[in-house]
Amino acid sequence: MKLIYSHLKTFLPDLNVKPQKLRDDLTMIGHFCNFYQEIENEIVFDLDIKVNRGDCLGYYGLAKDLSILYNLPLVPATELKYSTSNYSLPIKIETDNVFRIMALKIVHLKNKHSPDWLSKFLKLHGVNSINTLVDLTNYIMFMYGLPSHAFDTAKSGDNLIWQMNPKYTEFKGLDGTILPVDKNILMVNNSNIALGLSFWGGEFCAIDNSTTNIIIEIAVYNPTTVRQNHQQLKVATEAATRLEKLLDPKLIPQAINHLARLITLNCGGEIGSQVFDYYPNPETPSPINFDPKLPSIISGINIPVDFAKEIVSKIGFRKDISLPEDLAEEVIRFYGYDKIPTNQPVSPVKLPDITPPILYLVEKLKDDLVAQGYDEVISWPLVQQPTDPTTVVKTENSINSGYPYLRQSMIQSLQNQLDQYFRYKLPNPKFFEIGKIFSQVDGKYIEKYALGTYDGQKFTETILDDLPKPESYLPKNIDNSAYELTSQIITLDANVNLDSPQDPTTLINHYTSLISPDILWSIEIIDIFENKYTFRVSYYNCDDKTAKKAHLTAFGLI
């Protein structure tokens, strides 16, 4: 969302911080600001407002946050001097999806082009200027985060009805787009014409320069209904972005007051009705049992209790706050996340290892394959063609329609990798991948870890989950062209004392010749101290006893 510094001062006249500091402070309290820039003599901030803070999709909500942060007074709400007209609007609300509506009729207006400040304000928010009345409703939406709307009563009449679509099959939006509507759509109609949606006005009663009498309204709806409606109709408007979030109906009086004041100021006219206020279930905020020590407990630093109490009292009721932890976050963010030290990680403890054994196998396999000259690749788990169409898992809505299937075999992925190797003319391709393969049987989805290798001549695949004892397998080269997993490796150490220093390679060769190649997996010297050599030998293809016997014999330990 865009934020213009000078307009922020509407609510915070005493605000006087440098733009750079404002940018950093807004970011630190949760409203990430990428950058600010000077456009047409205005300083404009670009903010990323998170979905829980619908109230901050308006200047007022941000100003309220900043008034707490900087301890500045927020401009108090001014009371509207309503007319003495005793005409009550014949508006009907026929759905419980409306939480609150305030509406007001203004008559004898003269609509015209917007004043420069207004069209510039909207331009900086990326909205085209239409005319003063329309622009002012948009202005109020940006200022309070509450979408407002004006109906030309010469076209719509005064008998507006908020209802779930009773009979209409289509609706014509402000830009002339025709949308198919069904009974799930929340609409504003009169007795025989569809006039508007909850988040978008209709073309039929659009405001133009000849408009003289209007009904203005600001409403808060059931956010879920608005969200479902705009998703169903695939229409995204600034109003929908706000109305689908938790908005505060208690802010409506101040916003409609401000709107009416600006309209009469800029377009003349007078208030032509009593204020219509439909608010069947005013929310009474449920009390939160807040311990002022909680922010300290959660943050791990000492936050004074008085500070916590002060912040909580300043925040008051907000729609996104319902738990003590929510209030604690408020206290901590105003106290400053930057006051929490960064150099005290959790202290190491010894806990039972809950790592699934297969992950150890994966790690071990990777090491051994790399040691044997294989490169690891990671490829796309979504593929173009199924291997077995009867068990393949297919995605339903992927926008990459060329890759609809989850791979059923590692070799599918490796084949693509090999093509790449050839395309880039890389010599001696020899590679592997360990990842998931997917299938479905009787409506159940099955995923397994699989190892696929390419050794320069052919592909092989092993499904790791299907091995009887996953933790005891290691890869082994057979006849230089194929490759298989072998069971159980037995590793034994031996210390050898010699009279004088020896060439390690000669020693390795010597002891290698003393062990049968059928059972020798690897031999290495892991430590040399003076004339003492420690060997580590791994045996395979044999049981513990055979390995031990061979080991003791080779190193002369019997």
Partner 1 sequence: MDLNQVKTEINNCQSGTDLENIRIKYLGRTGLINQEFSKIKSASDPKQFGQQLNQLKTDVENLIFEKSKTVSSEIKNLKLEIKNSNFCLPKIGHLHPLSITERQLNEVFRKLGFSVYNSPEIVTDEYNFQRLNVPKDHPARDMQDTIYIQQPEYLLRTQTSTIEAYLLKNHQPPIRAAFPGSVYRNEKVNRSNHFVFHQYQAVVVDKNITMKDLIGTMDLMFKTLYGPEVVVRYRCKYYPEVEPGVGPDMQCFNCHGKGCPLCKYAGWIEMGGAGMIHPKVLEMANIDPRVYSGFAFGMGLDRWTMAEKYITDIRTLMGGNLAYKPNKL
Footprint of partner 1 on residues 51-90 (CB under 8 A)?
Answer: 51-53
Binding string, residues 7-36; x marks residues near partner 1 by CB under 8 A: --------------------xxxx-xxxx-
Least distance from partner 1 to the Cβ atom of residue 115, Å: 32
Rule CB under 8 A: which of 80-139 touch partner 1?
none
The residues near 514 (Cβ < 8 Å, ≥ 6 apart) are 553, 554
Among residues 384, 388, 391, the alpha carbon closest in space to that of 445 is found at 391
Q: Among the candidate windows 115-123, 185-193, 285-293, 430-438, which touches partner 1 by CB under 8 A?
A: 430-438
* DSSP per position, 280-330: SS---PPP----TTHHHHHHSS---HHHHHHHHHHH---TT--SHHHHHHH
Q: Among the candidate windows 83-91, 257-265, 435-443, 484-492, which touches partner 1 by CB under 8 A?
A: 435-443
The number of C-alpha atoms within 13 Å of 305 and in the hemisphere containing its C-beta is 4
**3-state SS assignment for residue 254:** helix
Provide the pairing of β-strand 194-197 with 186-189: antiparallel
- Binding residues for partner 1, rule CB under 8 A, total 93
Which one, 123 or 436, has the nearer CB to partner 1?
436
Which one, 512 or 541, has the nearer CB to partner 1?
512
Rule CB under 8 A: which of 297-326 touch partner 1?
297-301, 323, 325-326
Cβ(460)–Cβ(471) under 8 Å?
no
Which one, 430 or 548, has the nearer CB to partner 1?
430
Least distance from partner 1 to the Cβ atom of residue 554, Å: 20
Give 470's DSSP letter. Answer: G
Least distance from partner 1 to the Cβ atom of residue 307, Å: 16
Name the CA dihedral angle for 485, 486, 491, 497, rounded to a multiple of 10 degrees: -100
Provide the pairing of β-strand 214-221 with 194-197: unpaired
Which one, 115 or 324, has the nearer CB to partner 1?
324
Which one, 4 or 383, has the nearer CB to partner 1?
383
Which one, 309 or 436, has the nearer CB to partner 1?
436
Which one, 192 or 347, has the nearer CB to partner 1?
347
The residues near 36 (Cβ < 8 Å, ≥ 6 apart) are 5, 19, 20, 22, 23, 43, 44, 45, 46
Which one, 157 or 381, has the nearer CB to partner 1?
381
**3-state SS assignment for residue 552:** helix
Least distance from partner 1 to the Cβ atom of residue 327, Å: 10
Which one, 94 or 367, has the nearer CB to partner 1?
367
Among residues 132, 106, 107, the alpha carbon closest in space to that of 118 is found at 132
CA distance 525 to 281: 80
Strands, E assignment, 301-427: 375-376, 382-383, 405-406
Least distance from partner 1 to the Cβ atom of residue 99, Å: 16
* DSSP per position, 198-249: SSSBBSTT---TT---EEEEEEEE-HHHHHHHHHHHT---HHHHHHTS---G
332 sits near partner 1 (criterion: CB under 8 A): yes
Binding string, residues 487-526; x marks residues near partner 1 by CB under 8 A: ------------------x---x-----------------
Which position among 85, 163, 228, 502 is part of the footprint of partner 1 (CB under 8 A)? 228
Name the CA dihedral angle for 297, 301, 304, 308, rounded to a multiple of 10 degrees: -50
Which position among 154, 193, 426, 557 is part of the footprint of partner 1 (CB under 8 A)? 426
Which one, 79 or 338, has the nearer CB to partner 1?
338
Rule CB under 8 A: which of 340-359 touch partner 1?
340-351, 353-356, 359
Binding string, residues 187-206; x marks residues near partner 1 by CB under 8 A: --------------------
Q: Among the candidate windows 129-137, 161-169, 257-265, 431-439, which touches partner 1 by CB under 8 A?
A: 431-439
Cβ(475)–Cβ(538) under 8 Å?
no
Q: What Rg, from alpha-carbon coordinates, does the chain have? A: 36
Give 202's DSSP letter. Answer: B
Return the sign of the alpha-carbon dihedral for residues 350, 354, 360, 362.
Answer: negative
Rule CB under 8 A: which of 153-172 touch partner 1?
none
Rule CB under 8 A: which of 236-255 touch partner 1?
244-245
Other Cβ atoms within 10 Å of 6 Cβ, number? 13
Least distance from partner 1 to the Cβ atom of residue 486, Å: 19
Among residues 52, 49, 50, the alpha carbon closest in space to that of 2 is found at 49
Least distance from partner 1 to the Cβ atom of residue 379, Å: 6
CA distance 521 to 547: 11
Rule CB under 8 A: which of 366-425 touch partner 1?
366, 369-382, 393-400, 403, 406, 416-421, 423-424
Give how far the C-alpha of residue 156 lies from the chain's centroid of Cα atoms, to the nearest Å: 41
Least distance from partner 1 to the Cβ atom of residue 484, Å: 18
Which one, 159 or 509, has the nearer CB to partner 1?
509
Other Cβ atoms within 10 Å of 340 Cβ, number? 12
Least distance from partner 1 to the Cβ atom of residue 303, Å: 11
